[in-house]
Amino acid sequence: MKVILAKKAGFCMGVRRAVETTLETVHKADGKIVTFGPLIHNPQVLSLLKEQGVDILTDIPDKLTGTVIIRAHGVPPVQKQRLLAAGAEVKDATCPRVMKVQAIIRKYRDRQYTTIIIGDKNHAEVVGLMGYAEPDVHVVSDENDLKDLRINGPYIIVSQTTQDEMAFNRLSSRIMESFPDGRVFNTICDSTHKRQEEVRNLSKKVQAMVVVGGRGSANTQRLGQIAEEMGCRVFMAETQEDLDFAAISRFERVGVTAGASTPTWMINRIVRALESCHGKGDSLFTFFFFSFLRSVMASNLFISLAGGLLALICRILQHSRPDARDFFVTFGYLFAIHNLNRYTDYKTKRLNDPRQEAFWRRYSMPLLVLSGFAMVLSIYFALQEGALHFVLLLIISLFGVLYSLPILPRIITNIIRVRKLKEIPGSKTFFVALAWSFVTVLIPAIHINALSPENLAVFLLISLFVFIRTVLFDVFDIQGDMIAGKETLPVCIGEKRSIRLLYSSMGLLAILLVVFTATGLTEQSGIWMLVPVLSLLLLTRLYEKKKLVQGIRLEFWLESHFYLIAASVWLGSSLS
């Protein structure tokens, strides 16, 4: 099925800020942490925050300890003062756009202006805004509210930040016609406006629209209304379990959008589920091919085979003949270690890719047995190459197993508060790159000669390729990792800095390829590896511009770069 994802789907700036503020508080603050009211309108996020120890405070007691986080929608100023008076540390996660509306209302209230809020009655944001406007405040939700509207003197009109702009313009014009002595402030968030316009445009390109978000989210419901007005069949989905696949399968092209409080990992769940759906016009071959591809990738067979080929290609880059034993040593090690780490990472996969997690839950025992067999195979061929190969492989295999176990001594854990190597912030990216380079470059190099500048040059090139691949995958999963408490490199430094780091790494990789080839540190065919570098650059750029839908196609493209490296070097070697 063809799935088109709206560019503006997912967390808006205010929601992202609120969630990140809460998670930062969880990781750094001591004592009880609560949010005053639901932080955002998404039950799944709230449930995950509860697992992190964040509860929801509904009433303000006389005495309160710990930290209270004010929800993204804001609260009336009286309630904020009561929280402070109760003795809690208060962190205000109100959306800056909502704060701007609060400031406008406060300014004109002090000038004796009446405030009219166009928005949904009883919505948390509207209740908070009313607290800044009281006592002279009116809420208008639709034309029926205009009948009883009475205004004496000057007034202002503001909007709930997630209102439909067309409805706001219609209602504000009607009010100004009846009561000319007013000022209109269009306080609809720019992100909301763009999100709604994108839904209108996307509705012209698809036959059905899936709107992802909490049932209590007003802006999510509004996106569904807009798509229906554009003539689209609309499916509202809080989770992938809400999807009616029997009905959706009647369409060839389906659009996906999401409310401002919907996390990226939930959108990715929906996209992956839709991609696996057999849509109208899809051939059975296409359906079964993608099903097979998902299984091969979920089992780590696809990437492990690529690693084995990479070991052979590294021989060529080091001016040596490939040895088939290196393929089996590398393939067996990667298959076993990747599956072991996948097995210990259920929680994050449940967020980022539940279908892969379900695959693992179903086939975990067969995969673990195969992984054990693959490790034995790897050790056997290492022994065939020599005792030193066996010892080195044993050391790196032991390191791979211990990576997920609590092995750090108490004196270290008391200082950095981690028990496992994998819990060291940002460590996974570097450990994965080193492990790949060790098993694809250094262990085979022992068979050729002692370590040389050529070996180290190829080691550096492969490390950079694997580093880029790992960072990209972590960028894809940044929100799920953040919620799960995983401190990957993108979680530590942020998505934008991670993207800049990727571009810098690709630039450095391209320079090194030219230099190493020109100086003879690698085989002349190594210059052909510029092709996969350019492909990685294109993938990163398209993802950054929201022109790629996260799912099996994107992951297949990324994982295929190791096959592209092998093909490029082999082709260059054949032509030279």
Strands 67-70 and 89-92: parallel
**Neighbour count for residue 499 (Cβ, 10 Å):** 18
Residue 75 near residue 65 (C-beta atoms within 8 A): no
Residue 128 near residue 74 (C-beta atoms within 8 A): yes
Tokens of 44: 């799944």
3-class SS at 101? helix
Strands 233-237 and 182-184: unpaired
Tokens of 79: 């309630």
3-class SS at 572? helix
Distance separating alpha carbons of residues 408 and 333, to the nearest angstrom = 24
Nearest to 8 by CA among 193, 209, 184: 193
Residues classed as catalytic: 125
3-class SS at 93? coil
CA distances from 85 to 91, 362, 397, 546 (A): 14, 53, 57, 45
End-to-end, the C-alpha distance of the chain in Å comes to 43
Burial 186-198 (b: 16+ CB within 10 A, else e): ebbbebbbebbeb
- The single-letter code of the amino acid at 62 is D
Distance separating alpha carbons of residues 171 and 177, to the nearest angstrom = 10
Tokens of 466: 């694997």
Nearest to 325 by CA among 256, 386, 391, 252: 386
Tokens of 2: 């063809």
Tokens of 129: 């805004």
